[in-house]
Amino acid sequence: MMFVMNRPGSRRKRSKGDLTSQAILDTAEQLLETKSLDEIAVDELTSGAGISRSTFYFHFESREAVLYALSERVAEGLYDSAALWLRRGSEPPAESIRRAISGTVALWRAHGPVLRAAVRARDTSEMVRGFWSEVARKFIESTAQQIEIERDAGVAVAGPPSARALATVLVSMNETMCYSLSLGRKSAARDREVVETLTAVWLRSVYGVPQ
């Protein structure tokens, strides 16, 4: 189901090492459903992958490096979701915002454990922090840009707060809510409520209230 590519375009056959790396990553993703990253011992990872503990260090530098690799698996989907922030044509704002938020929630539902571990590791691992702050930057950037477009068009309420500050708060808010939502049992009703609430806050904060 999941896989890591060799360098793009490489026709090199999947080597044995790739397979073990894969097995480690799969085991890690599975274990993260139960425990946090630093509760996972290296030998849990390797016994799950059918190799000895020391072999782990041939494939990864550390547990954090595993998380980094897992993050890359998810990042692609995240960027797709980011593209949704940009409003399409004449569609009303409520629709595009709801759709974008729905997409983010769905992604957190699909990869909650990895995303939560990544968020937590931001405070710990320089490597992970760099990666995810870049992701966050793109989200915030495109949101701020969109807010500015709407303000220039006279559709959105003017600042202060600046488009950038507002975008930062809104994006962080989404992340926080997705994090805590993904901790609970999967529930379509709860998902819908969160999407509705977040959408309402976005709309009111950016556009004001529809009378």
Partner DNA sequence: GAAATTATTCGACACGGTGTCGAGTGAGCA
Partner DNA sequence: TGCTCACTCGACACCGTGTCGAATAATTTC
Which stretches of the chain bind a second copy, using CB under 8 A?
36, 38, 116, 120, 123-124, 157, 160-162, 165-166, 168-170, 172-173, 175-177, 180, 193-194, 196-198, 200-201, 204-205, 208-209
Q: Identify the sign of the CA torsion 66, 68, 69, 70.
A: positive
The partner in contact with residue 161, picked from DNA, a second copy, none with C-beta cut-offs of 5 to 8 angstroms by kind, is a second copy
| Residue owning tokens 């709407």 | 150
> What part of residues 49-68 is at the interface with DNA (CB under 7 A)?
51-55, 57-59, 62-63
On whether the CB atoms of residues 27 and 41 are closer than 8 A, the answer is: no
CA distance 27 to 117: 14
The partner in contact with residue 184, picked from a second copy, DNA, none with C-beta cut-offs of 5 to 8 angstroms by kind, is none
Looking at beta carbons only, is 20 or 168 nearer to a second copy? Answer: 168
DSSP SS3 for 155: coil
Amino acid present at 3: F
User: What's the closest the beta carbon of residue 133 comes to DNA, in angstroms?
Assistant: 23
Query: Is residue 197 a contact point for DNA (CB under 7 A)?
Result: no
For residue 160, whether the previous peptide bond is cis, meaning omega lies within 30 degrees of 0, is yes
As a residue count, the chain comes to 211
Amino acid present at 190: R
Looking at beta carbons only, is 20 or 174 nearer to a second copy? Answer: 174
Query: Is residue 116 a contact point for DNA (CB under 7 A)?
Result: no
177 φ/ψ angles, rounded to the nearest 5 degrees? -65, -40
User: What's the closest the beta carbon of residue 131 comes to DNA, in angstroms?
Assistant: 19
The partner in contact with residue 24, picked from DNA, a second copy, none with C-beta cut-offs of 5 to 8 angstroms by kind, is none
The partner in contact with residue 80, picked from DNA, a second copy, none with C-beta cut-offs of 5 to 8 angstroms by kind, is none
DSSP alpha helix (H) spans, the chain? 16-31, 42-49, 56-59, 63-83, 93-121, 126-152, 163-183, 188-207
The partner in contact with residue 137, picked from a second copy, DNA, none with C-beta cut-offs of 5 to 8 angstroms by kind, is none
Query: Residue 4: how many CB atoms within 10 A of its CB?
Result: 13
Q: Which residues contact DNA (rule: CB under 7 A)?
A: 13, 15-18, 20, 41-43, 46, 51-55, 57-59, 62-63
